Amino acid sequence: MSDSSQQVHAQSMTELAAGLDAGEFTSVELTRSLLERIGELDAKLNALVTVTADEALAAASCADEARATGNGGPLNGLPIIHKDIFCTRGVKTTCGSRMLDNFISPYDATVVEKLADAGAVVLGKANMDEFAMGSSNETSYFGPVRNPWDLECSPGGSSGGSAAAVAARLVPAATGTDTGGSIRQPAALTGTVGIKPTYGRVSRYGMIAFASSLDQAGLITRSAEDAARLLGVMAGFDERDSTSIDRPVPDYSGAINEPVKGLRVGIVRQHFDEGLDPQCAVRVKEAIAVLESLGATAVEVDLPNLDLSVPTYYVVAPAECSSNLSRFDGVRFGHRAENAEDLLDLYCRSRGEGFGDEVKRRIMTGTYVLSAGYYDAYYLKAQQVRHLIADDFKKAFSDVDVIAGPTAPSPAFRLGEKVDDPITMYLNDIYTIGANLAGLPGMSVPCGFVDDLPVGLHLVGAHFAEETLLRCAHQYQQHTDWHKRCPEGFK
């Protein structure tokens, strides 16, 4: 390998694509180098639950052959990892749970298939909160992921393994999923870029379901430019997902080069109330000032029902989770209890043993709010409040192009700090949950540090305004270098 390829781990997807095109290194060399790095550094982080070295080298070799004959897709030979919630054919797909510790998926998720068809090389599967339920990665059956910026801290969750791996330069990009902030909050806490597209923009087929009306697949990368490149491949209609939206995929990579001059940026009054770390507030305001210096106009907007978004979510999401997770019965796949007395005992013990505490708690919360006598008071009420929240956003977007604010209330917190208090943990998602409830696209972009820990700027757009978010983020990254900072020990 040439000298310039010594530091392949530090390069973005875009830079790596150029290196491959120029013949500076092959995909096999690149893959081998990153696999070595994972082997060397991941013991500190626990970001990956499975490393698919053989499959990756085989895919890289195919990519090199395709390149030699002038073929190959838009991501030909480029490395990526998948959150372990995406089904990968022939590879263990655990969803961070003991329940699926032995599950070898018989098929590929659409996202996995699309990225593979484009030539991406999958290095492994990322650790995550069990069934994506958690904001700290501490609910994983495979142990918590550590934040590369401070190994005593959480990387956030639930896509914590994806975020930690990208932040630590183990891989330039990772898939993630976001039901209440699970891409954007870990992106903020690890100084990476995270995008959750509009509900229905990316297929949910083969993505293990948590809360079907909120779940959406997205990405964690180190730059908006890389996110645009990958989203263009992942997005699009899929007849196998009944809520997939049939709408053309725009040229995201082209759109990011448009200036932000004239863009109206909404600032939500309630975002800067108590609850937000004052130093984080300063970083976020500085980022908004950068956008203003580029010609955007800041406008105050109101989201009066913001406070109700977390309680609404903690009715809707558990309700849908209790229904979705009823498929785990110990019979067809997943953990099965031994020596069951009868069928009911088989169900109850397989589920009791296979699920962790937080998952059981959410299944029970969902069962309660859907049970006879409580449905109207909780589930129906929450779906009504959800409409109020969506209407607030609709009103705001009649005046502004994008809403900017904090992604999370504080920088990364210490592992163990919030694990015993579900409500404090749930409130971590206060700024991100609204976008899921309303089905809007959201994005987190690194915007500075507080006490050496990264802070994220949260951008939310109207339905299908991914281009606006990516453009805003890319233009911001042309004038700042927060996204290029690398944690000590991972340079």
Partner 1 sequence: MSLSKDQVQHIATLARLKLTDDEYAESVEKLSRIVDFVHQLSQADTSDVVPMAHPLDAAQRLRPDVVTETIERDRFQENAAAVSDGLYLVPKVIE
Give catalytic residues, as residue numbers: 83, 158, 182
Task: Pick the binder of partner 1 from 110, 135, 175, 312 (CB under 8 A).
Answer: 312
The 450-489 contact track toward partner 1, x by CB under 8 A, reads: -------------x--------------------------
**Residue 218 binds partner 1, judged by CB under 8 A:** no
Task: Pick the binder of partner 1 from 171, 363, 412, 472 (CB under 8 A).
Answer: 363
Angle subtended at Cα 184 by Cα 181 and Cα 186, rounded to the nearest 5 degrees = 95
287: left (phi over 0), alpha (psi -120 to 50) or beta: alpha
**Residue 274 binds partner 1, judged by CB under 8 A:** no
10-45: burial string, b at 16+ Cβ within 10 Å, e else: ebbbbbbbebbeeebbbbbbbbbbbbebbeebbeeb
Identify the helix (H) or strand (E) that includes residue 169.
none
The 182-201 contact track toward partner 1, x by CB under 8 A, reads: ----------------xxx-
**Residue 303 binds partner 1, judged by CB under 8 A:** no
CB atoms within 10 A of CB 349: 18
Q: Minimum distance between the CB of residue 358 and partner 1, rounded to whole angstroms?
A: 10
Q: Minimum distance between the CB of residue 34 and partner 1, rounded to whole angstroms?
A: 30
Q: Minimum distance between the CB of residue 437 and partner 1, rounded to whole angstroms?
A: 7
- Residue 121 contacts by C-beta under 8 Å, 6 or more apart in sequence? 27, 31, 56, 59, 60, 63, 77, 78, 79, 80
CA–CA dist 361, 359 (Å, integer): 5
- Closer CB to partner 1, 352 or 416, in the complex: 352
Compute how many residues bind partner 1; rule: CB under 8 A.
72
Assess contact for 268 and 438: CB atoms under 8 A: no
**Residue 395 binds partner 1, judged by CB under 8 A:** no
Distance set, CA 190 to CA 72, 96, 149, 304, 490 (Å): 32, 20, 7, 30, 13
- Closer CB to partner 1, 287 or 319, in the complex: 319
Stretch in the footprint of partner 1 (CB under 8 A) among 187-195, 262-270, 358-366, 447-455: 358-366
Name the residue among 455, 333, 350 with its Cα closest to residue 405. Answer: 455
Helical H segments across 340-465, by residue range: 343-354, 357-370, 381-396, 422-426, 433-438
Identify the helix (H) or strand (E) that includes residue 68.
helix 53-68
Q: What are phi and psi of 56, to 5 degrees?
A: -65, -45
Angle subtended at Cα 459 by Cα 255 and Cα 224, rounded to the nearest 5 degrees = 45
**Residue 387 binds partner 1, judged by CB under 8 A:** yes
Stretch in the footprint of partner 1 (CB under 8 A) among 101-109, 181-189, 268-276, 478-486: 101-109
Task: Show contacts with partner 1 in window 242-261 (CB under 8 A).
Answer: 242-243, 245
Q: Minimum distance between the CB of residue 118 and partner 1, rounded to whole angstroms?
A: 24
The 119-158 contact track toward partner 1, x by CB under 8 A, reads: ----------------------------------------
Task: Pick the binder of partner 1 from 13, 193, 263, 385 (CB under 8 A).
Answer: 385
Task: Show contacts with partner 1 in window 38-67 (CB under 8 A).
Answer: none
Q: Residue 279 has which token pair?
A: 């130093």
**Residue 377 binds partner 1, judged by CB under 8 A:** yes
**Residue 375 binds partner 1, judged by CB under 8 A:** no
Task: Pick the binder of partner 1 from 368, 417, 485, 486 (CB under 8 A).
Answer: 368
